[in-house]
């Protein structure tokens, strides 16, 4: 990693020296335009670089670049707990739905049991496979009570 950075720095210094030596032969107006362009380029290069350094950092490990987004991204204990609220709401909602369905099923079975206990039926009717459907049918249940 250090060897590559040193090689790049040396290469950059050689290019800068070559450009500086060639710029001595240029007319004054062109060298002034080049100086102004260099100033703008350096200013433009420094702005995104500082913004990039504050938002993310690149970490080089074994020839691979990894992005580090600043650790925990400012999450404290309360924001971490708040991130579990949707999961807690989901589990509570599912438990509530299951409880309501169990209550509905228990009420349905209680209605069938009460209809069986109140009605006078022969014993063969209890063994009939269609008897449960007969009890579930509200029209048939109201006609049998009359």
Domain ranges of the chain: 2-68, 77-145
Q: What percentage of the chain reaches a pLDDT higher than 70?
A: 72
Best CA proximity match to 131, nearest among 144, 84, 37: 144
Residue 136 has pLDDT above 90, yes or no: no
Give me 14's structure tokens: 């050689």
CA 32 remoteness from chain centre: 52
What pTM does this model have? 0.34
> Rounded to whole angstroms, how far apart are CA atoms 7 and 9?
5
Phi and psi torsions of 68, nearest 5°: -110, 115
Residue 106 has pLDDT above 90, yes or no: yes
Structure confidence by residue, pLDDT tens digits, 21-55: 777 778 888 888 888 888 888 787 776 554 444 44
Task: Compare 13 and 121 and report the one with higher pLDDT.
Answer: 13
Going by pLDDT thresholds of 50, 70 and 90, the confidence category of residue 90 is very high
């Amino acid at each position: 990693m250090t060897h590559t950075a040193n090689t790049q720095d040396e290469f950059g210094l050689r290019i800068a020296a070559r450009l500086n030596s060639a710029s001595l032969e240029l007319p004054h107006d062109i060298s002034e335009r080049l100086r102004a362009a260099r100033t703008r380029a350096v200013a433009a290069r420094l702005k995104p670089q500082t913004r990039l350094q504050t938002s993310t950092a690149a970490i080089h490990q074994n020839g691979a670049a990894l992005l580090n987004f600043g650790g925990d991204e400012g999450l404290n204990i309360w924001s971490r707990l708040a991130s579990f609220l949707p999961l807690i709401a989901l589990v509570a909602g599912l438990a509530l739905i299951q409880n309501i369905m169990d209550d509905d099923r228990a009420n349905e079975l209680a209605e069938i049991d009460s209809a069986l206990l109140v009605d006078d039926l022969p014993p063969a009717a209890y063994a009939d496979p269609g008897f449960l459907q007969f009890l579930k049918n509200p029209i048939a249940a109201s006609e049998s009570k009359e």
